[in-house]
Amino acid sequence: MRKKRASPDASDPQDPNAALLHEVLDCVPQGVIMFSGEGRMLYCNRRYRDTYGFSEEDLRPGITMESMLTMRNRTGVIGPEERKYCRRQLAAMRKGLVQSGFHPTPDGRTIHYINTPIPSGGWIVTHEDMTQQRQAEEQIEHMASHDALTDLPNRVSFQSHVEQALLLNSRGRMLAVMFLDLDNFKGINDTLGHQVGDELLKVVADRLRSCIRGTDMVARFGGDEFVIISSGFNSPARAAALATRIREAVLEPFDLADHRVSVDISIGISLSPNDGTDAEQLLKNADQALYCAKGSGRGTYRFFEGEMDVRTTERHNLELDLRAGFVNGEFEIHYQPLVNLESGKVSCCEALLRWNHPVRGSVPPDIFIPVAEEIGLITRLGEWVIRTVCAEAVKWPEQVAAAINVSPVQFRTQNVLQIVTHALASSGLPPGRLELEITEAILLDESESTLAVLRQLQALGVRIAMDDFGTGYSSLSYLRKFPFDKIKIDQCFIKDLSLGGAASAIVRAVTGIADSFHMVTTAEGVETEEQRVIVKALGCTEMQGHLFSKAIPPAEILALLTSMEVAPCSPPPDRPAPDRLGSDRLAVAMAWGRAGER
d(CA 117, CA 122): 6
- CA 299, 301, 304 angle in degrees (round to 5)? 145
Which x/- pattern, by CB under 6 A, does the window 335-374 give for ligand C2E?
Answer: -x--------------xxx----------xxx--x-----
Please state the separation of Cα 456 from the chain's center in Å.
30
Based on its alpha-carbon atoms, the radius of gyration of the chain, rounded to whole angstroms, reads 39
Helix/strand/coil percentages in the chain, nearest 5: 45, 20, 30
- Closer to Ca ion by Cβ: residue 413 or 471: 471
- Closer to Ca ion by Cβ: residue 183 or 467: 467
Rounded to a whole number of angstroms, the minimum distance from the CB of residue 426 to ligand C2E is 19
The interface partner of residue 546, options being ligand C2E, Ca ion, none and the CB cut-off 5 to 8 Å by kind, is: ligand C2E
- Closer to ligand C2E by Cβ: residue 128 or 467: 467
Asked if 88 touches ligand C2E (CB under 6 A), the answer is: no
- Closer to ligand C2E by Cβ: residue 170 or 362: 362
- Closer to Ca ion by Cβ: residue 340 or 405: 405
**Among 444, 438, 380, residue whose Cα is nearest residue 184:** 444
Distances (CA, A) of 108 to 87, 116, 279, 358: 21, 26, 36, 70
Strand partners, 405: 437
- Closer to ligand C2E by Cβ: residue 32 or 465: 465
- DSSP symbol at 499: G
* CB contact burial 104-119 (16+ within 10 A = b; e otherwise): ebeeeebbbbebebee
The interface partner of residue 514, options being ligand C2E, Ca ion, none and the CB cut-off 5 to 8 Å by kind, is: none
**Stretch of 103-111, 213-221, 457-465, 539-547 contacting ligand C2E, by CB under 6 A:** 539-547
Rounded to a whole number of angstroms, the minimum distance from the CB of residue 561 to ligand C2E is 17
Asked if 546 touches ligand C2E (CB under 6 A), the answer is: yes
The interface partner of residue 330, options being ligand C2E, Ca ion, none and the CB cut-off 5 to 8 Å by kind, is: none
Out of 147, 181, 383, 467, the residue judged to bind ligand C2E by CB under 6 A: 467
CB-neighbour burial class of residue 299 (10 A; exposed 0-12, middle 13-18, buried 19+) = middle
- Closer to ligand C2E by Cβ: residue 288 or 544: 544
Rounded to a whole number of angstroms, the minimum distance from the CB of residue 375 to ligand C2E is 14
Out of 276, 545, 578, 593, the residue judged to bind ligand C2E by CB under 6 A: 545
Rounded to a whole number of angstroms, the minimum distance from the CB of residue 551 to ligand C2E is 5
Rounded to a whole number of angstroms, the minimum distance from the CB of residue 407 to ligand C2E is 4
Number of residues engaging Ca ion in binding (CB under 5 A): 5
**Stretch of 100-108, 236-244, 267-275, 542-550 contacting ligand C2E, by CB under 6 A:** 542-550
- CA 345, 346, 351 angle in degrees (round to 5)? 170
- Closer to Ca ion by Cβ: residue 264 or 332: 332
d(CA 94, CA 35): 11
Q: Taking CB under 6 A as the criterion, which residues in 390-409 touch ligand C2E?
A: 405, 407
The interface partner of residue 407, options being ligand C2E, Ca ion, none and the CB cut-off 5 to 8 Å by kind, is: ligand C2E
d(CA 20, CA 175): 67
The interface partner of residue 365, options being ligand C2E, Ca ion, none and the CB cut-off 5 to 8 Å by kind, is: ligand C2E
**Among 53, 58, 76, 55, residue whose Cα is nearest residue 68:** 58
The interface partner of residue 181, options being Ca ion, ligand C2E, none and the CB cut-off 5 to 8 Å by kind, is: none
Half-sphere exposure of 450 (CA within 13 A, CB side): 27
The interface partner of residue 374, options being Ca ion, ligand C2E, none and the CB cut-off 5 to 8 Å by kind, is: none
- Closer to ligand C2E by Cβ: residue 174 or 378: 378
Rounded to a whole number of angstroms, the minimum distance from the CB of residue 524 to ligand C2E is 6
- Closer to Ca ion by Cβ: residue 159 or 471: 471
d(CA 369, CA 375): 10
d(CA 337, CA 316): 35
Out of 176, 180, 402, 551, the residue judged to bind ligand C2E by CB under 6 A: 551
Q: What are phi and psi of 334, to 5 degrees?
A: -105, 165
CB-neighbour burial class of residue 138 (10 A; exposed 0-12, middle 13-18, buried 19+) = exposed
d(CA 524, CA 489): 6
User: What does the chain come to in residues?
Assistant: 598
- Closer to ligand C2E by Cβ: residue 365 or 553: 365
Rounded to a whole number of angstroms, the minimum distance from the CB of residue 550 to Ca ion is 14
Please check whether residue 451 is in contact with residue 484, taking contact to mean a CB–CB distance below 8 angstroms: no
Count other C-beta atoms under 10 Å from residue 194's C-beta.
10
The interface partner of residue 525, options being Ca ion, ligand C2E, none and the CB cut-off 5 to 8 Å by kind, is: ligand C2E
Rounded to a whole number of angstroms, the minimum distance from the CB of residue 396 to ligand C2E is 18
Number of residues engaging ligand C2E in binding (CB under 6 A): 21
- If you write DSSP's letter for every residue of 251-290 in order, what string do you get? HS-EEETTEEE---EEEEEEEETTT-SSHHHHHHHHHHHH
The interface partner of residue 268, options being Ca ion, ligand C2E, none and the CB cut-off 5 to 8 Å by kind, is: none
- Closer to ligand C2E by Cβ: residue 250 or 409: 409
Cis peptide bond upstream of 273, omega within 30:
yes
Please check whether residue 569 is in contact with residue 348, taking contact to mean a CB–CB distance below 8 angstroms: yes
Q: Taking CB under 5 A as the criterion, which residues in 358-417 touch Ca ion?
A: 405
**Among 174, 146, 169, 180, residue whose Cα is nearest residue 283:** 180
Q: Taking CB under 5 A as the criterion, which residues in 418-477 touch Ca ion?
A: 437, 467-468
Rounded to a whole number of angstroms, the minimum distance from the CB of residue 331 to ligand C2E is 9
Rounded to a whole number of angstroms, the minimum distance from the CB of residue 328 to Ca ion is 26
SS3 330: coil
**Stretch of 147-155, 187-195, 257-265, 545-553 contacting ligand C2E, by CB under 6 A:** 545-553
- Closer to Ca ion by Cβ: residue 340 or 439: 439
Chain residues in the site for ligand C2E (CB under 6 A): 336, 351-353, 364-366, 369, 382, 385, 405, 407, 437, 467-468, 525, 527, 544-546, 551
Contact positions vs Ca ion (CB under 5 A): 405, 437, 467-468, 524
